[in-house]
Amino acid sequence: MASGFSGGYSDYSITGNMNTRSVTDPQRPYMSNSAGINSDVSSQVFNRRPDNTGKRSLAEFQQHFQQQQQLALYLRNVKQRASYQQHASPISPLSPPMDFYGNSHSPDISSLSSSYRIPIFQQLRQHQQRQQQNSHRYINNMIITAQPQPQPRAQVSDIQPENNMMNRLQELEKALLDDDEEDQNDVVAATSVVTNSEWSDTIQRLINTDHTTVSPSPASSSSSCSSPSINCAKQSLTEAATAISEGKFDTANEILTRVSKVSNTQGTSEERLMAYMCSALKTRLNQTENSQDLYSKDHLMSVQMLYEVSPCFKLGFMAANLAILEAVPDDANNVKLHVIDFDIGQAGQYVHLLHALAAKRTAIKSISLKITTFQDHASDLKSVGDGLKVLASKVGVNLCFSVMNLKINEFNLESFGLQDDEILAVNFAFRLYKLPDESVSTENLRDELLRRVKNLSPKVVTVVEQEMNANTASFVARVNETCGYYAALFESLDATVPRNKVERVKIEEGLSRKMCNSVACEGRDRVERCEVLGKWRARMRMAGFEEKGLSQKLGESLRVKLNSGTRVNPGFTIKEEAGGISFGWMGRSLTVASAWR
């Protein structure tokens, strides 16, 4: 006799020591044998099918329930509970489905245990009358509670039963199967548990509950952030970038319109960042970016302000200066230091270098500094040089300031007029990332410049760059990287510059232009092509350079400088890395300085 149960237990036939008999009633071919009767009518209700085939009358249901009660007494007289405890409870919301009207999908009695013994049927006769009375109350309650609903049966994995339901099931199991009590009235108690109104309410709530879950679509404008908030705005920027990359411009515009509701250039650092990033993505949609804005005087002035107020950038310049000073011997009588700088800007870095060289003057008879830089039409380099000369004369350092107008492919030893007794240092501070590499043009000016500098045989080469992977990354990845990097930078500005100051507004305007160029432009129009230290390391090694480790003294002196100001903030961090030292905010590296030879 097949059990019809998917649990994999063996079939079982009931035999007595008087006669071998089958409990099958030939009068009811639609009902399973006694061994296959499911002892949990409630589980039939819970797992019922929507169809009404094989429907039985009330009288037939009563007879079916009577055999259910007999089976309950049969089970509670079994003494071998160890075998029962090894199997899952037969009364469980996870049991296999069975039609409410009795279609055969119930487990065989062998699914409970293969070692059950023959019950004492005399006990059944003693309680037959009591069961008959109780069955009417039970059936009426179950019919009311478990009306078939024309709804598809829910997946078991989608339903998490309430605690009340689980408690009722456990009480029912204990009442029907507990051998510790000899009181035969447990059957009535078990029935009263099932007919409890609280149990009925629990079943009804589960039947009427819709457990369907709708997964959000990452590209939908209403997917994850229907209500405006900063966290949602950050995720929405990624969704907008994804929509732009897929050509869904209307969707992207809708998302950016929603983000603009929580952005504010006068608000918190996060609200300001959202405003500028939203503007950058809209610029890409409208294709209105002009890379020439990065070479304007206003932009250069805003960048110089950033260098002066942000410890991460200021300490980067100082690290480069200290690496250059380490190349100067302490025991030399006459020192001639020649620094080639490819982007001197307003020369703020050399104010610190001149003071540091003046401190060495006590141990050295004479010291001279020659600075060679290159023509920048946006900067008045003559006035910059004049200012440095005034400072050099005050601190007692001989200064020669030279401006050249050369292309990269014209660099050689003769063009710089190098002398044999000069200590040559080359400074790349926030310059290399602006040069196009192999991903833009076969000319690869970035590597070309490094190779030509290598031919000059400098004593030291310093590189200071933003720690940001925004060169060859895909568009969506570049948007995420830009958002993460400038989020930390904007937050760090709160620790150094008040939001309402004019300088803060100027700095943020410059940062917005950098973000816009990084996000909205491609090809030669994209000037902002920052890379991380690992990529710079590979590029420098390919050009023939090797790392010149920064001394521990250098790192200690930078930490002292960071903590010496009146606005000490623990959010700023200094971390020594392989071949370099990084400066960041709250664990996020913003700039990295390294030295090479």
Position 56 scores a pLDDT of 54
Q: Which residues pair with 428 in a beta bridge?
A: 463
CA distances from 330 to 225, 350, 459 (A): 62, 20, 15
Q: Which of 69-78, 204-213, 222-231 has the highest mean pLDDT?
A: 69-78
Cα angle: 590, vertex 571, 310; to 5 degrees = 50
For residue 499, give Cα distances in angstroms to 92, 133, 234, 586.
Answer: 62, 82, 21, 19
Could you give phi then psi for residue 466, rounded to 5 degrees?
-75, 135
Mean pLDDT for the stretch of residues 475-493? 96
Please state the rounded mean pLDDT for residues 94-116. 41
- Residue spans per domain, the chain: 34-208, 220-295+468-529, 296-467+530-596
Helices in 396-427 by DSSP H: which ranges? 413-416
Higher pLDDT, 548 or 214: 548
Task: Look at residue 277 in the predicted model and tell me its pLDDT.
Answer: 96
- Identify the pLDDT of residue 81: 43
What Rg do the C-alpha atoms of the chain give, in angstroms? 41
Least confident of 46-55, 56-65, 455-464: 46-55
DSSP letter at 407 equals: -
DSSP classification of residue 549: P
Mode of pairing for the β-strands spanning 580-585 and 588-596: antiparallel
> By C-alpha distance, which of 247, 113, 102 is closest to 177?
113
Joined tokens for residue 437? 């590499």
| pLDDT classification of 137: cutoffs 50, 70, 90 | low
Q: Give the dihedral sign, CA 282/474/273/528.
A: negative
Q: Average of pLDDT values for 317-322?
A: 95
Confidence of residue 18 (pLDDT cuts 50, 70, 90): very low
Segment 405-410 shows an average pLDDT of 85
What three-state secondary structure class fits 538?
helix
Q: Roughly what angle, to the nearest 10 degrees, separates helices 445-454 and 533-542?
A: 60
Q: How far apart are CA 67 and CA 61, in angstroms?
A: 10
Q: What is the pLDDT of residue 128?
A: 57
- Quick one: what percent of the chain has pLDDT higher than 90? 46
What whole-number distance in Å separates Cα of residue 325 and Cα of residue 551? 12
Please state the rounded mean pLDDT for residues 509-518. Answer: 96
Averaged pLDDT for residues 26-32: 40
pLDDT band for position 77 (50/70/90)? low
Mean pLDDT of 467-479: 95
Residue 545 has pLDDT above 70, yes or no: yes
**Gap between the Cα atoms of 289 and 201, Å rounded:** 64
Retrieve residue 511's tokens: 């940062």
| 486 contact partners, CB below 8 Å, separation of at least 6 | 273, 276, 277, 511, 515
- Max avg pLDDT among 8-22, 220-234, 382-396: 382-396
Separation of CA 106 from chain center: 47
- What is d(CA 349, CA 89) in angstroms, rounded to the nearest whole number? 78
Q: What is the pLDDT of residue 74?
A: 53
Paired with 335 in beta bridges are 367
| pLDDT tens track for 444-460 | 999 999 999 999 999 99
For residues 40, 45, 49, 52, the Cα torsion angle rounded to the nearest 10 degrees is 110
Pairing verdict, β 334-341 and 366-374: parallel
Residue given tokens 């090797």 in the structure block: 546
The predicted pLDDT at position 64 comes to 61
For residue 44, give the H/E element and its range: helix 41-46
- The label of the residue with tokens 């200071």 reads 464
Kindly report the CATH class assigned to 296-467+530-596: alpha beta
pLDDT at 375: 85
The answer to whether the CB of 462 falls within 8 A of the CB of 428 is yes
Q: Which residues on adjacent β-strands are paired with residue 399?
A: 369
Residue 144 has pLDDT above 70, yes or no: no
State mean pLDDT over 169-183.
49
What's the rounded mean pLDDT across residues 265-275? 93
Name the nearest CA neighbour of 326 among 431, 461, 454, 430: 461
* pLDDT band with cut points at 50, 70 and 90 for residue 318: very high
d(CA 44, CA 98): 5
Taking residues 306-333, report their average pLDDT.
92
- Please tell me which residue, 24 or 138, carries the higher pLDDT value: 138
CA distance readout (Å), 409 to 45, 322, 406, 436? 85, 30, 8, 14
Round to whole Å and give the CA distance between 453 and 75: 92
pLDDT band at 288 (very low <50, low <70, confident <90, very high): confident
Q: CB atoms < 10 A from the CB of 208, how many? A: 9
**pLDDT in the model for residue 57:** 57
Using the CB atoms, write b or e for 371-399: b if 16+ within 10 Å: bbbbebeebebeebbeebeebbeeeebeb
List strand residue ranges (DSSP E) for 375-459, in order.
Answer: 398-404, 423-429
Average pLDDT across the chain, whole number: 74
Nearest to 514 by CA among 493, 498, 546, 490: 490
Confidence of residue 434 (pLDDT cuts 50, 70, 90): very high
Residue of 154 and 237 predicted with greater confidence: 237
Say if CB 309 and CB 497 are below 8 A apart. Answer: yes
- In this prediction, residue 454 carries a pLDDT of 95
Return d(Cα 160, Cα 165) in angstroms, integer. Answer: 10
Across the strands, what pairs with 425? 339, 460
Give dist(CA 574, CA 558) in Å, integer.
8
- In this structure, the number of other CB atoms found within 10 A of the CB of residue 100 comes to 23
Q: State the DSSP code for 152.
A: P
Beta carbons within 10 angstroms of residue 166's beta carbon: 13
Q: What's the pLDDT tens digit per position in 563-596?
A: 876 566 789 999 988 779 999 999 999 999 999 9
Helix 502-520 to helix 297-309 angle (10° resolution) is: 110
**DSSP H or E stretch at residue 230:** helix 230-245
The amino acid at residue 239 is E
pLDDT bin (cut points 50, 70, 90) of residue 414 is: confident
The pLDDT score that the predictor gives to residue 485 is 97
pLDDT greater than 50 at residue 111: no
Please check whether residue 285 is in contact with residue 249, taking contact to mean a CB–CB distance below 8 angstroms.
Answer: yes
Judged by average pLDDT, the poorest of 8-17, 77-86, 428-437, 569-578 is: 8-17
Looking at residues 90-97, what average pLDDT do you find? Answer: 41
Output the pLDDT for position 201: 53
From first CA to last CA, the distance across the chain in angstroms is 87
Q: Given this model, what pLDDT does residue 393 score? A: 93
CB 584 within 8 A of CB 307: no
Looking at residue 171, its pLDDT comes to 58
